Each structure stands twice: as structure tokens, then as C-alpha cells.
Structure 1
Amino acid sequence: MKRLTLALAVAAATSSMVSADDGVETITVTASRGANVQLPTLATHVVIERSDIELAQVESVPELLSRYAGIDVATNGGRRQVASVFTRGASSDQTLVLVNGLRVNTASSGGATWNTMSPELIERIEIVKGPRAAVWGSDAIGGVINIITREQAPGSVTLNAKYGTNNTQSYYLGTGVSHGNGATTFAINKERSDGLDVLKTSEPDDDGYENISFTVNGNQTVTNALSVNWLFKSSKQDVDFDSTYLNTSENENREWQLAGNYQWTASDIQNTATLSVGAIKDKNLSFGNDRAKQDGDLFETQSDQLSATNTSIFNESFTLVLGTDQYKEEMVSSTAFTQSERRVEGYFGHGLFSQNGVTAEVAVRYDDVENIDSETTYNLGVGYQITDEIQLSVAKGTGFKAPTFNDLYYPYGGNPDLLSETSDTEEVNVTYVKNAFDLTVSYYNTDIENLIEWAPDADNVWQPRNLSQADISGIDITANYSGLGGNHTFNYGYLDAVDGATGSRLVRRAKNQFSYQFTASFDTTDLMLNYEYKGDRMDSGVELDSYQLVDVSVNHRFTEAISVKLKLHNVFDEEYETVLNYQTLGRAVYLSINYQM
């Protein structure tokens, strides 16, 4: 895992290339929308590499994210149940989630459908913490999480089979194909599990799942100036759960994207123009145990997206990125909403400057959301290299989240007069890097206004209104050290997130969290030890106890082509809840065999 508080490079989010030139690694990150940028940004972010994902052997993306400072996860039971990901205390629908730069937050609920994302199909995950609405628009209050789909080298073939607790099975097949100055990856992953009994207060049955996912992504260099890349991703999942009258759901998720980069020069200014078009469709059908689909509850959203940016590198000290995002959201439901589509237009500029130890960035964006007041957001940041090892930076930014279709147009209480939720954030970062040790300490304070809350009016009619506010502050500390037999990573997060009116704690967020990962390689064997502590949290007026988890993962290579992995999860069989009355996985064992040629 590479933690890059100051990125060595910032490139287009639609690209997923990692390259090396003269020994300096250029890493695509999500802090900026620019292409081929060689200047650092002041955004605090983390890059989780494919090697980290493989060694961690996690069963879901939220399980992996929960190990990092400033990120907390609450799940309604097992690994493929509904999950909420909180970034720096912001709610799950106040974190923008992308797949290869495409927005995947649904227009109905506002959150991402984490349960359809398979870790086996991910190349890396880029996490940017703090407001980034001035670059990405709505939803980026707590941060941005960009998931980059997996790549395989041309001519390679990978086969993986896994079996574990609760009859959990997973099968992966992937290959890479070259075509001239380009390559395409084809990958398919199938998973199933008997699951566990999700809800304590409901029927005592196992709630399992089946999931199949398929991706095609590639790139082609057409000329020295023009390159294109593409993505097609499809997933389908059947999952059981416990509720009053709905117990099973079918989720279908499809995404496609086509993007191009064109390099050109004008008056010694190097430019890269990027155009991306794509679409996301998310379909959820829920029904009772009798599986009477004609009586099921249907929610289907689609987002057609177009993004265009131009990155201008004036010199080695100054870069300017200008861009626009245009997308249309549509919704189809078994419940007839009063309005089923809207358009969003966003226009932004992002400037980066670095010289003589001073780094600065300014971003401004204007968003026009149909039938809702427009929003203007900004990011300002200044950093100073105090010594060769220490950098201090300060930043301020604003963000917003547009109301969802459920909030605005639900026929039984929707409120079309809602305003967007808005935020103001201040942040101070100190970074220390020397030899094999690096340390980052971040303090942040966020005030969120116009929070949307469903509450009864004078006639006892429940309706969403801009009633609430939240005061959030916290500290993130991350340290890495290479030595003493391996690599040591420490993450600590302190969060004070309260309702601004009542002073009560925001639900399902732990006040303290700590994690430690130790990784080491011994000839043909790789080892990862993961320890997590999550403090107590509140839910529905009940305090949920703190808990500790210990995971051990081992990967042993018998030959260059064949390896075997073993994962021990929750070694000490800790019983805990992240959502009131929803049970979580106890001790579990997984064994997998991998073949790669």
C-alpha cells in the first residue's frame, strides 16, 4: 500500500494506467481531474494496490476500507448485506463513489451499492479524504472513493478458486489480450455463500447470496497524440435478508464507458484534452420468501454521463485543469414517483502551483441541478516544506449533496422544495517522511447545514425537510515503517460527530478506531496480520459495544504458476454489532488456490 499525502503525479481518473519513467512512478489518483500532471496536490489520500487486496483476502470492499483511518463501516449483517461507509464522519451518501471515474451513487437512495462490488475485479482503490465537490460536484462532502477495475498483462491467464466457512465459494477467471499498441482485460468472478442469520429479532434462518460479475476494460494508443480506453462491467446478485415483509432481493448493475485523451501544444503550453462518455444502471427488485416477482418492489436508476477536461501544463511550476460534467439521472419504480428524471451540469477549474517548497491549489466549481438551487463550491490549500522531512499544509473547502429522488419525489411524503445539504471544512496536515518511516497527522473540522431529515409535520404527515445540522471534527494519524522483519502500518482515527441542535452523537460512527497491519515476505511465503479496534457507537438510542478483530492471511507460492492462500478471519471469535440487532461473522476460515501463467 502506498500512502501519498502529496501525490507524485495526478492523472485523469478515467485512465487506469500505472507507469514508470526513469525510476519515478506515475500514479493515477483522484485528487485532481488533470492528465499527466507532475505537481503534488494537498489532498489527503490513500492508494490501495492490487497486491494489498490479494494478500488481505477480504470478502467485500467495505471490509477492506474499514482498516483505514477516517473510514468507518456499518453493515446490516453479513458480507453481502447493505453497508454504509462513513468518510470522516460524513454519512454514506455524502461520500462520492466512482468506478473508473464514473459516478455510481444511486439517484434513489444516494449511496453506492457496495454489495455488488467484488474485490477480485479491482486493480486498486483511490481514497481522497475531505471535501472535493469543487472538483467532482455533488456528494463529495466526506471524500471520494474511486475504484479502478482489474488489469491483466497481455497473454496472462489467472484462475482462482476459494472455499470457506458457511459454504462460501468464489471462482475467478481472467486474461489479458494485446492488440497492437493496446491491451484488453477480460475477467469474470462468481461467488456464493449460505451466509448467516442476519437479524436477531426476525426468523432464524441463514441469509445467503450468489453473485456473478464480469468486466472488460482496455486501452489503445491510436497515434502519438491520441489514446482511448473503455470499460464494460456487469454484475448480478441474489441476496437473502430479514425484514417485515421483504426477504430477498435481486441486484443488477451495469456500467460502460468510452474515453479518449488527445495531447496538443499551443504557445509552448502542453495540453491534454480528455472526453469520457458512459452510463450506470442499477436495478434492485425485492420480494417476499414466496419469490412472487410480479409483486416485488422495484427501484431502477440510470445515469448517463459525459465529462470533458483540458489539462494545461504552463511550466514545471503551474498547471491548470478546466472541465465540465454533464449527466442525466432517471428512475423507474413500482411506486410511481411524481418526477422520474433530472439533469445536472457542472463546470470547474483547478489550478496547481509548486515552487521553492511552497505548494498551492485552488479549485472552483459551479453546479446546476435541475429543479434545485445551483451551488458554487471551492477548495483552497497551501503547503510549505519546512524541512526536507516535514511539510505543513492547511486547506479549506466547501461541498454539497443534492437531495435524492426519494427525498424530492416519493409519492407518500416527498418534498420538492428541499435545498441541497452543504458543508464547510477546514483541515491542517503535517507530514514527516524520512528513510523507511513516514507519518501523517490530519486535523479536520466540518460543519454541515440543511441536513435532510424525515419528520412529521403539524398534521403528523412524515416528510423530509432541511431540519438538521452536524458538527464533525476529528484527527487521522497514519504511520508506516519498513523494518524489523517487514512493513508496519498504523492507523488511528478520532471522531467527534454530533447533531448540531441536540449535541447527541451521530449514529453508527465509532468515536475511536485503530488498526495495525504487519506484512512480510519470506522467500515463497507472504504474511499479513491485521488488527482492528473499533470504539463504541450509538444506534437508535442504544450504545453498541466496542470490539476487536484479528485477521491472519498467508500466501504460499509452490511454483511460479501455483500458489495457495489461507485466511483466518476474526481469530478470537469476537461477537459484535455495527448496526443494532444485526449479527456479524464470527470466526471464519478460507482456503484458495491460484494458478497464473
Structure 2
Amino acid sequence: NTSASVRLSHELAGGAEVFGTLLHSEGESEFDATQKDWYEFTHHASSIGIRGNLTEQWLSTLKVAYSIDESERFGGIRSKFNTERNLLDWQNDLSIGERHLLTLGADYQNDRVNVSDDYLERSRDNVGIYGQWQTNLDRHDLALSLRRDDNEAFGRETTGQIAWGVRLNQDWDFYAAYGTAFKAATFNELYTPFVDFSQFGFPGSYVGNPDLRPEVSETYELGITFESGMLYLDAALFETQVDDLIVNAGGIDRRPENINDARIRGVEVNLMLRNNLWTAAAAVTHLQHEDRNTGKKLNRRPDSSLRLDLDRHWNAYSIGSTFMAEGSRYDDVDNQDRLGGFALLDLRASYRITPEWRLSGKIQNALDKDYETIQGFNQPGRAFFVTLNYQQR
């Protein structure tokens, strides 16, 4: 795998900014089945844009983006799967007085697919318009947003969100939010070519599902935050109800499918403690998730997860570690194939050679833990990374 990433920006006369990003990765994946097979793949994402003030209160941003996802399989089975996306986005931020911000915009997205199998639909367009109003009223913050999408494949859909926060005292804040969402199936989910997993030593197959329906969801959230001195705390309760949730079926038939009525409830707590030398952070999530028609748990989702970060900084040096643990999950929608939980440890260190140059190293999965998040597909073992970074301010 060989990859490169670039991010550039330049301020023009008059204050406008031209910016661009590029991420490109290509390589080859080889595996032993009944005979030698391999994939060649290319991933690319790039964008270019300009932002600037048209008036003192009006900031406008125009961006064009392009991305591709290409893979071709050789050997016992030959297949091709190439997708392409073009995006045009125009966003306008209008400051109204000192307390109000109005955002208005529109975007256009075009997706194209070229696969070895024969499908009637090979491209689709999506046109969206959106707006958001944010305001601060003394102790209260309020945000209202609305979006309208016209998707060539799935029709028109309106989504939105309302969020409110209030400062209870100097240290405590309370917030509440409600939002709706719409998600169309990707071309990868619709049209991935057929793969026979018996070549890998276990039964089953995987193929896209051109009959997938789009997801429609609504989410409720309540939370509190505390910040005082070295301590920060954020705790939230949430519930998401999804119609036609898109999941991979797992088990023998691994094609994507819709779950008519799904519900995800959870609690999430984030805690951070820091001083001049040490930073410690913890994040805990616990979920209750189910297919409400069958009572089964949603597949490939752990009930609980934990992350602990500890870092120490002094002079030009820093060292740190991340401990992450996830509970068990089911690979299939019928809850027959259970995958065990796992715990991972990452280690890192860095040295700032000069104000511009920094040398970093990382050991990922330092204990070389064997684990799976999808049945039959091992996750990477111990890996070492060395990074040399240059940044001119």
C-alpha cells in the first residue's frame, strides 16, 4: 500500500482564502484461496475551494470535490468494481448582530458505478438545500437546522435538527437535541460483485443488494457537561429509531439487507483530567440495540466499549498509551455466530527536533492480540509506525 496526502491553503489579496486537499492510496492485496488470488485497488479523494467575506457580515465558501474507489480482482474469479463521486457545495454564513448566525447553502452530488455485473442503474444525482440558525440568548444557546434532498434514485426527503443548551452555573451545562436523518444506500452496498467465501475455507458468499431501501431515522439526546480547572466531564443519554436500517446480514448470506424497525439506546460518558505534564482521558459507551420485529440484537455492534488515554509531555518529548476494550457481538442478524470481546494496547512517543520538525513512533496492538470484528476476517496484529513531520507556521 502506498499513500500520500496533501493539504494547502493560501490567502489572496483582500483576505480571501484558496484551499485544497488530496488523499491518494493504491496497492495490492494478495491471499491464498484454492489458488492465488489478488486485488488491485485505488482510493482517491481531492477537493479545491475558495472562501472569503463578500461583506463584513457575509462569509461565502465554494468547494468542488472528487473521489474514486476502484478495485479489480484477478486469479480464480475476476471481477471489477469502480465508483466515482463528484460534489459541488456552496455555503454562506451570515452574521446577524452579535448573537445570531444564519447558514444557507446548496450542494450537488453525482455518483457513478462501473462493475463487472450488469445493472440498469449506473449513476444517480442528489441535489440538496440546507439552512441553519444559531443564536445565543444570555444563558441559552439554540440551533435549528433544515435540509431538503432530491435524490434521483430514492426521491425527496426533508430532515432537520433542533438543539438547545443552557448554562446552569459557572461549571455545569445542560443540553437536549432532536434530529432526523436520511441515508441512501451506497453503490458499494447495492452493486458489489459476487464473492464465494468457500475459497477461504468457510461457507457463504457476499454480493450487493440492488433492492435496498434508504434509511430514515430520528434521534433524541440529553446531556450534561462539567468543566472546572483540570477536570472536564460530558455525559449523555440517547435513543435512535431507524426505519429500514442497512446492515450486512452476516452468517452464510452476507449480502446487505434492511431491518424494518431498529432501535439503539445508549449512555456515553467522557472524562478528561489534565495538568501541565499529564493528560488522562476516559470514554465509556453502553448500548441497548435490537431489531424490534425479532427482538434480536443488531449484528456487529458491541454492547459496551471502553477507551483510556494517558499522555505525558515534558520539554520536547511526549509518551503515551491507549487502552481500548470492546465487548462481544454477533456477526449475523440471527444471533447465532458470536464473536468474543477483545482488549488492545497502543503505545506512542514523539520528539520535537526543532520547532518545525517532529519525529514520532507508534506501536499498534502492542500485545499482538488476535481478534475479529467480522467472522473469518482477522484484524491486523502488532504493527510499527515511524513518522517524520515538518510544519512551517
| CA pair 527-347 structure 1, distance change in 2 beyond 3 A | same
Q: Which has the higher contact order (CA 8 A, sep 6+)?
A: 1
Instruction: Measure, in 2, the Cα distance between the counterparts of 1:234 and 1:338.
Output: 30
Residue range with higher mean Cα deviation, 568-577 or 544-553: 568-577
Instruction: Measure, in 1, the Cα distance between the counterparts of 2:239 and 2:5.
Output: 39
| CA pair 262-453 structure 1, distance change in 2 beyond 3 A | closer
Alpha-carbon shift at residue 482 of structure 1 (Å): 0.8
In the alignment, residue 287 of structure 1 is paired with which amino acid? F
Alpha-carbon shift at residue 286 of structure 1 (Å): 1.7
| CA pair 427-583 structure 1, distance change in 2 beyond 3 A | same
Q: Equivalent residue for 2:230?
A: 436
| CA pair 415-572 structure 1, distance change in 2 beyond 3 A | closer
In the alignment, residue 223 of structure 1 is paired with which amino acid? A
Q: Map Cα deviations across residues 524-550 of structure 1 (whole Å, 9 max, x no partner).
A: 431102212211111232222222222
| CA pair 566-578 structure 1, distance change in 2 beyond 3 A | same
State TM-score, norm by structure 1: 0.57
8 Å contact kept, 1:300–1:331: yes
Instruction: Measure, in 2, the Cα distance between the counterparts of 1:221 and 1:555.
Output: 31
Give yes or no for the alignment of 1:275 onto 2:70: no
Q: Equivalent residue for 2:132?
A: 350
Alpha-carbon shift at residue 577 of structure 1 (Å): 2.3
| CA pair 242-450 structure 1, distance change in 2 beyond 3 A | farther
Alpha-carbon shift at residue 278 of structure 1 (Å): 2.3
In the alignment, residue 430 of structure 1 is paired with which amino acid? I
| CA pair 287-345 structure 1, distance change in 2 beyond 3 A | same
Q: Equivalent residue for 2:51?
A: 261
In the alignment, residue 377 of structure 1 is paired with which amino acid? T
1:569-580 correspondence to structure 2 within 5 Å: 569-580=364-375
Q: Equivalent residue for 2:384?
A: 590
Alpha-carbon shift at residue 241 of structure 1 (Å): 4.0
8 Å contact kept, 1:338–1:409: no
8 Å contact kept, 1:225–1:264: no
Give yes or no for the alignment of 1:232 onto 2:22: yes
Aligned residue among 262, 271, 279 for 1:470: 262
| CA pair 592-387 structure 1, distance change in 2 beyond 3 A | same
Alpha-carbon shift at residue 552 of structure 1 (Å): 2.2
Give yes or no for the alignment of 1:555 onto 2:342: no
Secondary structure of 2:97's counterpart equals coil
In the alignment, residue 257 of structure 1 is paired with which amino acid? S
| CA pair 329-559 structure 1, distance change in 2 beyond 3 A | closer
Q: Equivalent residue for 1:425?
A: 219
Q: Structure 2: 5+ residue runs without aligned partners?
A: 195-206
Q: Map Cα deviations across residues 290-329 of structure 1 (whole Å, 9 max, x no partner).
A: xxxxx73111111111101111000121010000110111
Secondary structure of 2:378's counterpart equals coil
Q: Map Cα deviations across residues 380-410 of structure 1 (whole Å, 9 max, x no partner).
A: 0111000111110100000111133466678
Secondary structure of 2:300's counterpart equals coil
Aligned residue among 297, 300, 307 for 1:505: 297
Q: Equivalent residue for 1:516?
A: 308
Q: Equivalent residue for 1:322?
A: 104
Instruction: Measure, in 2, the Cα distance between the counterparts of 1:410 and 1:484.
Output: 51
Instruction: Measure, in 2, the Cα distance between the counterparts of 1:367 and 1:432.
Output: 37
Give yes or no for the alignment of 1:450 onto 2:244: yes
Alpha-carbon shift at residue 494 of structure 1 (Å): 0.6
Q: Equivalent residue for 1:88?
A: none
1:201-240 correspondence to structure 2 within 5 Å: 211-240=1-30
* Matched residues, number: 373
Q: Map Cα deviations across residues 114-168 of structure 1 (whole Å, 9 max, x no partner).
A: xxxxxxxxxxxxxxxxxxxxxxxxxxxxxxxxxxxxxxxxxxxxxxxxxxxxxxx
Aligned alpha-carbon RMSD (Å): 3.1
8 Å contact kept, 2:47–2:65: yes
Q: Equivalent residue for 1:43?
A: none
8 Å contact kept, 2:115–2:191: no
| CA pair 539-255 structure 1, distance change in 2 beyond 3 A | closer
Q: Structure 1: 5+ residue runs without aligned partners?
A: 1-210, 290-294, 456-461
Secondary structure of 2:377's counterpart equals coil
1:305-344 correspondence to structure 2 within 5 Å: 305-344=87-126
Aligned residue among 323, 326, 337 for 1:542: 337
Q: Equivalent residue for 1:288?
A: 75
Alpha-carbon shift at residue 242 of structure 1 (Å): 5.8
Alpha-carbon shift at residue 244 of structure 1 (Å): 7.1
In the alignment, residue 522 of structure 1 is paired with which amino acid? W
Alpha-carbon shift at residue 499 of structure 1 (Å): 1.3
8 Å contact kept, 1:453–1:468: no
Give yes or no for the alignment of 1:393 onto 2:179: no
| CA pair 490-484 structure 1, distance change in 2 beyond 3 A | farther
Secondary structure of 1:451's counterpart equals strand
| CA pair 400-247 structure 1, distance change in 2 beyond 3 A | farther
Secondary structure of 2:374's counterpart equals coil
Secondary structure of 2:118's counterpart equals coil
Alpha-carbon shift at residue 248 of structure 1 (Å): 1.8
Alpha-carbon shift at residue 438 of structure 1 (Å): 0.5
| CA pair 453-568 structure 1, distance change in 2 beyond 3 A | closer
Alpha-carbon shift at residue 497 of structure 1 (Å): 1.6
Aligned residue among 236, 247, 253 for 2:37: 247
Secondary structure of 1:257's counterpart equals strand
| CA pair 476-241 structure 1, distance change in 2 beyond 3 A | farther
8 Å contact kept, 1:478–1:492: yes
1:96-107 correspondence to structure 2 within 5 Å: none
Secondary structure of 1:578's counterpart equals strand
Q: Equivalent residue for 1:581?
A: 376
8 Å contact kept, 2:359–2:388: yes
| CA pair 527-270 structure 1, distance change in 2 beyond 3 A | same
8 Å contact kept, 2:177–2:222: yes
In the alignment, residue 311 of structure 2 is paired with which amino acid? T
In the alignment, residue 285 of structure 1 is paired with which amino acid? E
State TM-score, norm by structure 2: 0.85
Aligned residue among 376, 380, 402 for 2:158: 376
Instruction: Measure, in 2, the Cα distance between the counterparts of 1:417 and 1:284.
Output: 23
| CA pair 415-574 structure 1, distance change in 2 beyond 3 A | closer
Q: Equivalent residue for 1:366?
A: 148
Q: Map Cα deviations across residues 405-464 of structure 1 (whole Å, 9 max, x no partner).
A: 466678999877754210010011211111111000111100100235789xxxxxx997
